[in-house]
A and B are shown apart, each in its own frame.
Chain A
Amino acid sequence: MTCILETRSLNKEFGAVIAAKDLNVQINKGEVVGVIGSNGAGKTTFINMVTGYLKPTRGEILFNGRSIMGHSPRAITRAGMARSFQVAQLFPEMTVLDNLIVALAAAESARPSFLSPLRSDARIARAEEILKEFGVENYRDSLVTAVPQGARKLVDIAMALIGNPQMLLLDEPTSGVSMDEKTDLMDTVMNAVRQHGVTVLFVEHDMDVVERYVSRVLAFYSGEIIADGGPAAVLADQQVRDLVTGHRPSTKQGNGVS
């Protein structure tokens, strides 16, 4: 399999606090990787470093074999790595449709037009298709602040996918979403991801979600990766159970793995 993302001895220190310690990770194309760990384990720090939000203290990050160390978030996005956020990052005073239209315009060109209307018929039609694909067409003309958390998360992820990235990093896609909505949300996201053929890495606290959707798990503890492997093996690992999940794997492991 071809490696799409590789980190070598990645470190991040905030003063005396070590948030990431010698992280050596290889993600292959087509994988769906779950990142688990308790609060403060370094999961979001890892995503933030990989996507250019935080500068690593030491180490190397390769995307498609090329170093992206020191690259800006927009350069990394343009290179094909998109992300969503723990708190959906949207344009609150715009409608859901306009959020998507802005994302579509951004995906078309890094230099938006000075005089051509942003709301072209073609973009509106494409945005409406995306609304349907993500099941949020009922919120088309609602301000994003007026839609439920789950729908907001979906719009956030839809905006990340609009640029046809090769890899998508999701930071706790189901956080703040009700138990009932979690499966629907993840089904919608995973369907879209499969259609786009995107490699996915997502941070998740809900082990049921992890078991159901991932092909591989990275378990973080205190800035280090303490386990890396299939979900069944990692979630059954005694150290992971003691330090991360306290979770007993269900008997239907592997179901739904894409």
Chain B
Amino acid sequence: MRLDKTEISLGLVALACVLFGFVSPGWLIFLLTIALAKALVVQGVVMQMRSGLVSFGQGLFYCIGGYTVGMGGQFFGIHDAIAALSLGMLVAIVVAMLLGLLLTRYREIFFAMLSLAFSMILFGILVKSQELGSTDGFNVHDWTLFGWAPEAGAGSQHTVFTITVVSGLIVAVLIHRYTKAGVGVICEAVRENEVRVEYLGLSPRWLLYGNYVAAAAVSALGGGLTALATGHVDPEMAYWTTSGEFVFIALLGGLGHVAAPFIAAIVFSFVRTYAIEFVPHTWQMILGFTLLAVIIFLPKGLWSLVSREKTGERA
């Protein structure tokens, strides 16, 4: 497998992150773990944005990934982190294959609202499920990695951070290849001109369907990692504000590069953390102004700062 420049850069950054994990404080490791896990969900949102669809319900798969990891440990004795994460992705794929049959018939606001509706249906079901802790959710069972149990606290935190970084790297390389591959490019073509795609003998609907299912799997991985990192799942994961946060981060980063959602998620996490710290009653306003500034000054997201720099270098 030949790696291109982007893939090598991603690998080096991932390695640097893992090494950084050994020297950085616990609070920062936790913040980065959650940010990177959410970035995976945002990757799912961005995959769909590239094909012209905005999902306001990606929290559905985030929640499915998280709850599958939680339920796997609590009820089915699946304690291995990789097995639990894989199961979460599998469940999300099955759900996406069913929902996608309906959702990919719709475009624009109809798709956005329907995706939100399914997410809220799951939220409603979870809130009414006493066995799953209702609005409080439940704790994730202690997990292992290929039979090895990391020590509780810092050891566990560092291990899940490393798993998240490695997962993020694998997903980023796959998405990078996907965006340059047939389905990835033609999904962008669907966004630009669905009629032409149809008259090239392709089915826009099935292309979007494949894209939707792949995005669901990636987002469920993010949910599963969040569950491992926080040790807790609750219905809030499927709530509309959570899905809105993923769209927020997607807009913040832009669609220009596979690294953009990771950068945006980290920036978002820091802005929110410090906003809550310094202005606890108006932190939402700070986030609002941040998004407003990005939309006005960087309409193609934070990544446009990097791409502008590159363009400048070439000039």
* A18 sits at the interface (CB 8 A): no
- Interface presence of A251 (CB below 8 A): no
Asked if A113 is at the interface (CB within 8 A of a chain B CB), the reply is yes
A77 touches B200 (CB 8 A): yes
| 0/1 string, B159-203, CB within 8 A of A gives 1 | 000000000000000100110111111101100110111111111
Which residues of B come within 8 Å of A, CB atoms?
174, 177-178, 180-186, 188-189, 192-193, 195-203, 207, 210, 214
A102 x B181 contact (CB < 8 A)? no
User: Chain B at the A interface: mostly helix, strand, loop or mixed?
Assistant: helix
Q: Which of B177, B201, B207 has the most CB of A within 10 A?
A: B201
A-B contacts, 27 listed (Cβ < 8 Å): A51-B199, A73-B198, A74-B199, A74-B201, A77-B198, A77-B200, A82-B199, A89-B193, A89-B195, A89-B199, A90-B193, A93-B188, A98-B185, A106-B202, A112-B181, A113-B182, A113-B183, A114-B178, A114-B184, A114-B214, A115-B177, A115-B178, A115-B181, A117-B177, A117-B181, A118-B186, A163-B200
Task: Check if B189 sits within 8 Å of A91, measured CB to CB.
Answer: yes
**Shortest Cβ-Cβ A-B pairs, 7 listed:** A112-B182, A106-B200, A77-B201, A89-B196, A91-B192, A113-B182, A118-B185
Please report the number of residue pairs spanning A and B whose Cβ atoms sit closer than 8 angstroms.
Answer: 94
Number of A interface residues at 8 Å Cβ cutoff, please give it: 34
Asked if A256 is at the interface of the complex by the 8 Å CB criterion, the answer is no
Complex interface: chain A residues within 8 A of B203 (CB): 72, 74, 110
In angstroms, Cα B203 to Cα A74, docked, is: 7
Contact indicator B178/A91 (Cβ below 8 Å): no
Residue A159 lies at the interface, judged by CB distance under 8 Å to chain B? yes
A83 to B182, CA, bound (A): 22
Residue of A at shortest CB range from B187?
A112
* List of A residues within 8 angstroms of B183 by Cβ: 112-114
Q: Which residues of B contact A62 (CB under 8 A)?
A: none
In Å, the complex CA distance between A126 and B207 comes to 24
Contact of B182 with A73 in the complex, beta carbons under 8 Å: no
